[in-house]
Structure 1
Amino acid sequence: MGKLSPRHAVVNRDICVACGTCVDVCPMGAMQIVQGSYACPVEEKCVGCGMCAKECPATAIKVEVRE
């Protein structure tokens, strides 16, 4: 497996409405909707570009530096 990107998307599950916008805009195909309830990034695919955070209508996604 390759090295993970230093940045990644983080979803606030409490405010995510599972609309799927992030899934549609992610250029890496890294976002998925889990059990119809919330979005979740696939860590190995997420490069932290911020497209999902920019387009999220609920502002439930932010990009953070990995620890």
Structure 2
Amino acid sequence: MGDRWHVEVDRSVCIGSAQCLHHAPDGFRLDMARQSHPVAPDADAGEQLLAAAEGCPVEAITLTLAAGGEPVFPPEE
């Protein structure tokens, strides 16, 4: 069984660019205020989710391992 990631969007930072939808259309949705929300807070690890987090222009998306909480993105410095 593969890793699962916990996906969070800091809506106080999100600017509604929809880059997350561009990279992972099945992983995010925008609400009426154009704020991003993960479709599922815990999801199978995958390149699309990572690309969405990396492609967010304001780094509003964080990914952590669902099982232990270790950071996936942004990586620890």
Same fold flag (TM > 0.5): yes
| Aligned residue pairs, count | 62
Whole-Å Cα distance in 2 between the matches of residues 6 and 22 of structure 1? 18
Q: CA RMSD in A?
A: 2.2
Structure possessing the higher relative contact order (Cα contacts under 8 Å, 6 or more residues apart): 1
* Identical residues among aligned pairs (%): 19
CA offsets 1:11-44 (integer angstroms, 9 cap, x no match): 0010001110100111x61111111331011117
Q: Which runs of 5+ in 2 are unaligned?
A: 68-77
Write out the 4+ residue segments of structure 1 that deviate beyond 6 Å after TM superposition: none
Q: Which structure has the larger Rg over C-alpha atoms?
A: 2
Measure, in 2, the Cα distance between the counterparts of 1:6 and 1:24.
21
Q: Structure 1-normalised TM-score?
A: 0.74
Aligned-partner Cα distance in 2 for 1:45–1:7: 6
